């Protein structure tokens, strides 16, 4: 079996999770190629070398441009901060590489659309890392909606509550800088919006509010000495009303300011015939109620989303054993490379840009205090 050579740009937690995905994918799915991480880049040579060693990546470079140009790299996997995604994607597309880009695709719709045009023009496979789609329970939710288990969708709601930004002593870094990290809307919200578009369809209009509760954070020089305060240019928390093209309505809320909530995202989709609810804190479960069920058994069923008939489940463990976060990355790799090189990748940069358009519409709405049509963003 042929190795397909992957170069990963970035070596932080995301790069690590992607490495895990490449390592595990061949165990859970029969693939026509073996995607293998051969090189990893990072500006700090010592740090990237240490990371690569622990992830089992044989080679490192300190300039991502070098990684992108290498002839022994078939796939460029972008795991850097969002503000750098578009530029790297452009270069990778220009070099004729397949491109996988971690979400969000960019920090603005303009960047995202530009990246989308670049990969499209280059004709290279392209994908965005909306990994939560690849959880069994989430994929089952999507499949059940598609199969009509809840009838026509009326309401969608999602929340992502985290405590990442609760401590005022957390030093300023790129996550607090809109140009590099993107907003909380883009960082957390992009996952939720991706799920909304995937499960319910086009979002036409949004109305949002954003708030930054801690407006300045200590800036450290070299990570040691505080050198004043830096302005936080991203939102701690945002929420929005949503209108779908189908007539369904929704709400979404993202917050990195909620104490003792580590990464609690929930999604509910309510249809004319049923209700589906997912809580990432219990990621192997999906809650379901059907209007057609026996009223004497009124309630929601805690579906153990690990039955062999469920998406991804047969690739993993017997029912009841449970998978974790990592499984979403292994499933992502398996999904992308299962049909290599012919099957189109999904979600691709077009989807990434569509998500970005909604995020930017939310951002504009929060700034302007009015409903904003997604089309306003995409037609700019």
Interface with a second copy in residues 190-209 (CB under 8 A): 207-209
Among candidate residues 86, 136, 17, the one with its CA nearest the CA of residue 352: 86
Among 60, 80, 239, 356, binds a second copy (CB under 8 A): 239
The Cα–Cα gap between 239 and 59 comes to 43
- Single out the residue of 18, 23, 103, 134 in contact with a second copy (rule: CB under 8 A): 23
- Residues near 113 by beta carbon (within 8 Å), at least 6 away in sequence: 353, 356, 378
Q: Which residues make Cβ contacts (< 8 Å) with residue 61, sequence separation at least 6?
A: 39, 40, 41, 67
| Interface with a second copy, residue 94, by CB under 8 A | no
Tell me, by CB under 8 A, how many residues bind a second copy. Answer: 93
Q: Does 273 bind a second copy (CB under 8 A)?
A: yes
Taking CB under 8 A as the criterion, the residue among 110, 180, 241, 373 binding a second copy is 241
| Beta bridge partners of residue 156, listed in sequence order | 250, 269
- Round to whole Å and give the CA distance between 236 and 167: 11
* Nearer residue to a second copy within complex by CB, 144 or 355: 144
Nearest distance from C-beta of residue 223 to a second copy, angstroms: 18
Sign, Cα dihedral of 252, 254, 259, 264: positive
Burial class (CB in 10 A: 0-12, 13-18, 19+), 361: buried
Cβ-Cβ contacts under 8 Å for 283 (sequence gap 6 or more): 135, 137, 323, 324, 325
Among 69, 117, 142, 154, binds a second copy (CB under 8 A): 154
Q: Which stretch binds a second copy (CB under 8 A): 19-27, 68-76, 92-100, 342-350?
A: 19-27
What's the Rg (C-alpha) of the chain? Answer: 21
Closer residue to a second copy in complex, CB, 118/153: 153
For 164, residues 6+ apart whose C-beta sits below 8 A from its C-beta are 175, 256
Helix (H, G, I), strand (E, B) or coil at 272: coil
Q: Is 314 in the site for a second copy (CB under 8 A)?
A: no
226 binds a second copy (CB under 8 A): no
Q: Hey, which residues does 217 pair with through a beta bridge?
A: 230
Q: Smallest distance from the beta carbon of 118 to a second copy, in angstroms?
A: 31
Among 219, 249, 346, 376, binds a second copy (CB under 8 A): 249
Q: Which of 69, 325, 346, 378 binds a second copy (CB under 8 A)?
A: 325
| Whole-angstrom distance, CA of residue 53 vs CA of residue 331 | 23
- Site for a second copy contains 310 (CB under 8 A): yes
Taking the complex as a whole, the smallest distance from the CB of residue 325 to a second copy amounts, in Å, to 4
Stretch that binds a second copy, among 39-47, 108-116, 148-156, 174-182 (CB under 8 A): 148-156
Instruction: Determine the Cα–Cα distance for residues 274 and 9; give it in Å rounded to an integer.
Output: 43
- Choose between 264 and 346: whose C-beta lies nearer to a second copy: 264
CB 153 within 8 A of CB 269: yes
Site map 275..304 versus a second copy, x via CB under 8 A: x----xxxxxx--xxxx-x-xxxxxxxxxx
| 187 scored as a contact of a second copy (CB under 8 A) | no
Which of the residues 96 through 135 are near a second copy (CB under 8 A)? none
Q: Does 46 bind a second copy (CB under 8 A)?
A: no
Residue 379 is a binding residue for a second copy (CB under 8 A): no
Residue pair 102/132 in contact (Cβ under 8 Å)? The answer is no
Residues 336-375 touching a second copy, rule: CB under 8 A, are 369-371
How distant, in Å, are the alpha carbons of 30, 42, 102, 161 from that of 164? Answer: 38, 24, 19, 9
Smallest separation (angstroms) from a second copy to the CB of 153: 11
Nearer to a second copy, 114 or 166 (CB): 166
Q: Does 227 help bind a second copy (rule: CB under 8 A)?
A: no
Select the residue interacting with a second copy from 123, 169, 223, 260 (CB under 8 A): 260
Task: Name the segment binding a second copy (CB under 8 A); options: 87-95, 98-106, 176-184, 247-255.
Answer: 247-255
> Would you call 72 helix, strand, or coil by DSSP?
coil
Say how far apart CA 137 and CA 128 lie, in whole Å. 20
């Amino acid at each position: 079996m042929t190795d397909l050579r992957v170069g990963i740009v970035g070596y932080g937690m995301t790069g690590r999770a992607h490495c895990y995905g490449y390592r595990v994918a061949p165990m859970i799915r029969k693939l026509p190629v073996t995607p293998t991480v051969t090189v990893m880049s990072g500006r700090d040579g010592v740090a990237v070398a240490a990371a690569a060693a622990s992830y089992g990546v044989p080679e490192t470079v300190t300039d991502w441009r070098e990684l992108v140009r290498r002839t022994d790299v078939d796939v460029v996997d972008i795991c850097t901060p969002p503000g750098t995604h578009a530029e790297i994607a452009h270069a990778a597309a220009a070099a004729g590489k397949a491109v996988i880009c971690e979400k969000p695709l960019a920090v603005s719709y303009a960047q995202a659309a530009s990246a989308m045009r670049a990969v499209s023009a280059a004709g290279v496979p392209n994908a965005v890392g909306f990994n939560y789609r690849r959880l069994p329970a989430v994929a089952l939710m999507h499949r059940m909606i598609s199969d009509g288990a809840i009838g026509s969708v009326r309401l969608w709601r999602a929340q992502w509550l985290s405590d990442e930004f609760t401590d005022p002593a957390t030093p300023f870094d790129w996550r607090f800088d809109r140009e590099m990290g993107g907003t909380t809307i883009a960082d957390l919200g992009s996952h939720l919006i991706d799920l909304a578009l995937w499960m319910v369809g086009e979002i036409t209009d949004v109305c949002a509010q954003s708030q930054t509760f801690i407006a300045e954070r200590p800036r450290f020089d070299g990570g040691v000495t505080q050198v004043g305060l830096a302005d936080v240019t991203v939102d701690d928390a945002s929420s929005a009303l949503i209108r779908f093209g189908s007539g369904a309505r929704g709400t979404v809320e993202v917050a990195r300011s909620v104490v003792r909530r580590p990464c609690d995202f929930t999604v509910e989709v309510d249809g004319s015939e049923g209700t589906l609810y997912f809580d990432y804190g219990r990621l192997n479960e999906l809650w379901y109620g059907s209007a057609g069920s026996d009223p004497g058994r009124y309630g929601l069923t805690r579906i153990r989303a690990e039955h062999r008939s469920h998406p991804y489940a047969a690739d993993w463990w017997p029912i009841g054993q449970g998978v974790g976060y990592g499984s979403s990355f292994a499933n992502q790799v398996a999904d992308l490379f299962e049909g290599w090189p012919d099957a189109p990748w999904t979600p691709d940069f077009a989807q990434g840009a569509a998500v970005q358009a909604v995020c930017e519409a939310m951002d504009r709405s929060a700034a302007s205090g009015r409903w904003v049509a997604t089309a306003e963003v995409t037609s700019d």
